Structure 1
Amino acid sequence: MPRRGFTLIELLVSMAIIGILVALLLPAVQQSREAARRTHCQNNLKQIALATVQFHDNIGCFPPGRIMPRPGDPQELSCGRDTPSWLIRILPYLEQGNFADDWDTRENFEDHAEEVRTMAIPTYLCPSRRSAPTAKVPTVTVEFTASCGCSGPQTFFSGATGDYGGNHGDLSPGAIGFTSDFYWGGNGNGIIISSRPLCVAGQPRDWIDKIRYRDITDGTSNTILAGEMHVNAQKINQPPDDGAIYSGWHFSFSTRIGGVHVPLAPNMDYVDTRLYSFGSWHPGICQFAFADGSVHALSTSIDVEVLGHLCVRNDGEVTSGF
């Protein structure tokens, strides 16, 4: 009886065909996974937007991005600059009430327990970039240079990192070392801006610069509320490029700006030396939640003037069809 089986040549041809099919299939699988991660990221932004809207409905205004006095303010307006960011204030509206109870927005960020500071919330993380177990920075001291008068060796305290920041506005108020610069309290023209405190016994008991729906004169559907923050792929979890999102000390840890001179980061390797930009790790787009609660993906090549109009709440330039 003749023997049955594959010859060596037939086996090699079969393996080559299987290899080609796998090579053709892998990009499709990767694209499918990225599409799922992008949808997950979009859902995170939707939850953040709805939580922020609920905060407004209950408190009567949007949360301050952080508490930040202006240089030269009197003592009763000069407290709270190290207190937690806006992402702590909306926790109860993200079904994170127990975690919110661990925080005191009147106390300095670094005075909270390390296990509290470093607890990452999945809603604040884009799955294309990182997961909760890896989303943290250690306490480090680095040389920091900025126009805000805070240059020199600075200690950045350990904390959870995240991928979504509030819209602080654009660069038009300035960033050249004046008290009118955008990052000082009350100067931002976005929605989640730095605010001056009202101090009682050296602690911020309220904030002065309150943004309400009536202040968004360009329309809620035309104004960005929050979006994905750019982090260079080589600087992930490395302060000051990537810092603790619950900390209000540096505005770029939990808010960003966009517009002329501040484009969207085109890719994950983009170097933003000022740490101002929005940006994502999704190819070609960056996702944003708007003040009406909707979520949209903007092209990373969007015109910077159009981006600026979307970031400024009241410039009279209503941008639609973006």
Structure 2
Amino acid sequence: MPKKLISTRRAFTLVELLVVIAIIGVLIALLLPAVQQAREAARRMQCSNNLKQIALAMHTYHDIHGQFPMPGMTANHLGWSVSILPQLEQSAIADQIDYTEGGHNDTGRRKFGPARVDAYQCPSAPASEVYSSNDDEKYQGQDSYSIHYFGMLGPMGVNAETGSNYNCEDTSSVFGGQCTEGIFWRLGSKMRDVTDGLSNTYLLGENSWVMTSYRRSWIRAKYTDSRGKLFLIAKNVQSPINSGVDDKWNTLAFGSMHPGGAMFSRGDGSVTFIAETVDFDTYLAGTSKAGGEALRTN
């Protein structure tokens, strides 16, 4: 009788199995950063699109009203984030908001805090920055959404072209005072006021990084009391990008969770990424609308 063939097939040894696992681990380690980078690139693009939408909405507002929206109104504590809702195709919200005198926490306003306006939210922002950190701004137990884009009140520091200080008021205020040379100072600027050029002047900047105790509702813009004027969605420019949390509301540094810098929109509606390593004088020059500086941001 013919002999039976005996199979010589054997299983993997422990060493071989460990080698395979190690190889898979290395491949995953190499692939994961690429996946994360791709996701961040998509988030950054969405953030850029948000700023583009807001800037274009402000241009449409300017076409209708002859000026950019005001940073905030003392009478009802609302500001540009509410003013441009119709231009962002958010009339369903705009038509229901109470615009009469009163505080930001009046029911006719506060109840819209939990309404998410996608254009006001950067997808790279950490979870702690998505909602207001003030429990008083909740409505029926729902958190109020925050906002991640802020207008420019103006630069604080020295104009490198003239050697003079930029103009700021009430700097002894616990809120940090108000700088007056940006597009969003007090009454809404007109395009003709931006003599440095719309393409050379920042309109909005991103502020979506970790600063939890300073987040407030997206509908809330301005408040005045004996301590000074508090601006929620417009800021002075005093510190470099991503430079740390200031202890005064009006001087919080612009920044983001995008690696290396933050997104900004210019007065002409264009959007750009500014590196946190940008020359500070150049950065300040880009935030004044009529400083006459030769220095300009890229």
Bin for the TM-score computed over the shorter chain:
0.7 to 0.9
Partner of 2:293: 317
Contact 1:120 1:136 in 2 (8 A): no
Does 1:282 find its partner at 2:258? yes
**1:151: which partner in 2?**
none
Length, aligned pairs only: 265
Q: CA deviation at 1:113?
A: 4.9
Task: Give the TM-score taking structure 2 as reference length.
Answer: 0.81
Partner of 1:25: 31
Give the letter aligned to residue 258 of structure 2: H
Per-residue displacement from partner, 1:6-49 (whole Å, max 9, x unpaired)?
Answer: 22211111011101111111111111111111111000000000
Aligned counterparts of 2:129 and 2:151: Cα–Cα separation in 1: 23
2:162 aligned partner: none
> How many percent of aligned residue pairs carry the same amino acid?
35
> Is 1:254 aligned to residue 233 of structure 2?
yes
Q: Please give the alpha-carbon distance, in whole angstroms, between the structure 1 residues aligned to 2:197 and 2:183.
A: 12
Equivalent position to 1:106, from 83, 100, 108: 100
Distance 1:15 1:219 in 2: 59
Instruction: Give the 3-state SS of the residue equivalent to 1:4 in structure 2.
Output: coil
* TM-score (structure 1 length as normaliser): 0.75
Cα-Cα RMSD: 2.4
* 1:98-124: CA deviation from partner (whole Å, max 9, x where unpaired): 011122333332212543123221110
Shift of 1:311: 0.7
Corresponding position: 1:265 with 2:265? no
Q: Which one-letter code corresponds to 1:308 in the other structure?
A: L
- Matched to 1:21, the amino acid is L
Match for residue 45 of structure 1 among 28, 44, 51: 51
The one of 187, 195, 205 aligned to 1:217: 195
Question: Structure 1 pair 182/285, CA: closer, same or farther in 2 (3 Å)?
Answer: same
Change in 2 beyond 3 A, CA 1:311/1:133: closer
Q: Deviations over 1:249-289 (max 9, x none)?
A: 3544211222xx422224xxx23222422111111111100
The residue that corresponds to 2:218 in the other structure is: 245
CA radius of gyration, larger in: 2
2:151 corresponds to which residue? 166
Partner letter of residue 58 of structure 1?
Answer: I
Measure the CA separation in 1 of the matches of 2:31 and 2:73: 51
Deviation at 1:182, TM superposition (A): 5.1
Alpha-carbon contact 2:171-2:177 (below 8 Å) kept: no
Q: Which residue of 2 aligns with 1:89?
A: 83
Q: What are structure 1's unaligned runs of at least 5 residues?
A: 69-79, 142-157, 195-208
Name the aligned partner's letter for residue 2 of structure 1.
Answer: T
1:102-141 alignment, distance < 5 Å = 102-108=96-102, 109-111=104-106, 112-130=108-126, 134-140=130-136
Counterpart of 1:289 in 2: which secondary structure? strand
